[in-house]
């Protein structure tokens, strides 16, 4: 009988090998059908060896490849679908909003002439440039500003009504469907409920004095006026439809209900991205102090009003840098607007 065993050994061996291959194959197929595994794998493959040193850490979130949208400028036709065309139109609307929806807009005149990408850099794909990476993964979500669960459409209209000081776009319009499809495409590889480190805006380190608009004016003159103009009101493109350098205040700028009207948002955006031609998050040009001070200067200049009396229905949830009362604490509106913020935060933490 022992002999028999010996005889069938090669056959049995082959059988075992076949099973092992089968099981491993099935396991891999299972893993590969899981989007977060693919995401991790893609990131792993995209990493360079230098990533291990924390100081040179490359961005974790890599925006999807726009050449994979059908009919790009490069003429690549990879996904010739209706959805693809909608995504592409959405990207165009985010990049050149004013041409379609600005004061002389081809589709309708409902906004102030700014483009979404003036604030969401590179059509909302730039790491640390207020990008859209976390939108598809985190919306719909409850937001304290409105006190409701917000869809992506509602969030887009928030920016149209505040940052673009305009009127809302109907949810079923082709333009809204396109913008939402595009934003979802930008965040398509981000696992649900997660926010990449380089999404949105990062607040600079706090300073222990109020941000100073007098010092900020000097920063403005040295670092910003060459593009945004001596008066800060920007400069139009030759087409007269879009800004070459968008306005930072005045009637064509974002209104008092916009996110950038909060000092932490403004200082964070500017520190990581301005001056636009030389600054990056990894190599900022402004110091933290300069970012806070230039923010104080710009946000002390006049800009459009907005009825925000319905915002923050639960006032205990107002961000500490929201510049309008009432508040649950006894700090002044001026301190809520310009800081210092540490003492306000300490009180807010105690309350929780
Ligand atoms: C004046 C600057 C500005 C303009 C112009 C602007 N936005 Fe925004 N947007 C912001 C700021 C600031 C935030 C909040 C970022 C934060 O708090 O981290 C924001 C947030 C968003 C979010 C939510 C992002 C998230 O991760 O939760 C979406 C979606 C959005 N904007 C879409 C748009 C669209 C679409 C347009 C054009 C129609 C537009 N925005 C124009 C400044 C702007
Ligand atoms: C080299 C020219 C240049 C300089 C210098 C510059 N910016 Fe900008 N800035 C831009 C451009 C261009 C945009 C729009 C980016 C886009 O559309 O891609 C912009 C956008 C902005 C925005 C968002 C849009 C808006 O108008 O509200 C703010 C805020 C801003 N800059 C603030 C500043 C501040 C503050 C400084 C000085 C510290 C500064 N910038 C220096 C070119 C510049």
* Predicted structure pTM score: 0.85
Query: CA–CA distance from 230 to each of 10, 218, 226, 245, 296 (Å)?
Result: 85, 11, 7, 12, 17
Distance 120 CA to ligand 1 centre (A): 7
Q: Is 193 exposed, middle or buried (0-12, 13-18, 19+ CB in 10 A)?
A: exposed
pLDDT higher than 90, residue 98: yes
Q: Could you state, in order of their start, the residue ranges of all structural domains in the chain?
A: 66-200, 201-341
Mutate which of 235, 242, 246 for ligand 2? The one with the most ligand atoms within 8 Å of its CB, which is: 246
User: Which of 21-25, 100-104, 136-140 has the weakest average pLDDT?
Assistant: 21-25
- Give the model's confidence band at 23: pLDDT under 50 very low, under 70 low, under 90 confident, else very high: low
CB 91 within 8 A of CB 184: no
Provide the percentage of residues in the chain whose pLDDT is more than 70: 79
Share of the chain above pLDDT 90, in %: 72
In the predicted model, is pLDDT for residue 1 greater than 50? no
**First CA to last CA across the chain, in angstroms?**
77
H or E stretch at 152: helix 152-161
Task: CATH number for 201-341: choose from 1.10.760.10, 3.50.40.10, 3.30.565.10, 1.10.10.10.
Answer: 1.10.760.10
C-alpha 155: how far from its chain's center?
Answer: 12
Rounded Cα distance between 331 and 348, Å, is: 11
Equal fold, 66-200 vs 201-341: yes
Class of domain 66-200: mainly alpha
Distance CA 109, CA 101 (A): 5
**Total residue length of the chain:** 352
Q: Hey, which of 95, 110, 119, 146 would you mutate to test ligand 1's pocket, going by the most ligand atoms within 8 Å of its Cβ? A: 119
| φ, ψ (nearest 5 deg) of residue 53 | -75, 125
């Amino acid at each position: 009988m022992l002999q028999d065993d010996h005889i069938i050994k090669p056959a049995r061996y082959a059988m075992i090998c076949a099973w092992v291959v089968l099981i491993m194959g099935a396991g891999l197929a299972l893993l590969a059908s899981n989007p977060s595994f693919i995401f991790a794998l893609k990131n792993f493959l995209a990493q360079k060896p230098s990533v291990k040193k924390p100081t040179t850490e490359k961005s974790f979130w890599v925006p999807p490849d726009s050449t994979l949208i059908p009919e790009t400028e490069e003429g690549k036709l990879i996904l010739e679908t209706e959805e693809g065309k909608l995504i592409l139109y959405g990207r165009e609307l985010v990049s050149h909003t004013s041409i379609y929806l600005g004061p002389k807009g081809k589709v309708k005149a409902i906004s102030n002439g700014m483009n979404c990408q003036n604030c969401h850099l590179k059509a909302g794909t730039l790491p640390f440039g207020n990008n859209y990476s976390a939108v598809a993964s985190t919306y719909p979500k409850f937001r304290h500003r409105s006190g409701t669960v917000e869809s992506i459409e509602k969030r887009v209209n928030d920016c149209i009504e505040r940052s673009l000081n305009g009127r809302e776009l109907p949810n079923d319009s082709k333009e809204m469907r396109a913008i939402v499809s595009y934003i979802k495409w930008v965040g398509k590889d981000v696992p649900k409920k997660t926010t990449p480190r380089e999404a949105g805006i990062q607040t600079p380190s706090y300073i222990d004095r109020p941000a100073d608009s007098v010092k900020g004016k000097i920063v403005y003159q040295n670092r910003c006026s060459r593009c945004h103009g001596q008066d800060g009101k920007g400069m139009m493109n030759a087409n007269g439809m879009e800004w070459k350098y968008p306005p930072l205040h005045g009637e064509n700028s974002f209104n008092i209900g916009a996110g950038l009207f909060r000092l932490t948002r403004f200082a964070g955006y500017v520190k990581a991205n301005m001056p636009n031609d030389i600054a990056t998050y990894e190599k900022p040009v402004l110091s933290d102090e300069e970012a806070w001070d230039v923010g104080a200067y710009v946000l002390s200049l006049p800009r459009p009003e907005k009825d925000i009396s319905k915002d923050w229905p639960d006032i205990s949830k107002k961000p500490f840098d929201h510049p309008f009362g009432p508040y649950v604490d006894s700090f002044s509106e001026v301190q809520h607007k310009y800081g210092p913020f540490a003492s306000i935060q300490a009180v807010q933490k105690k309350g929780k």
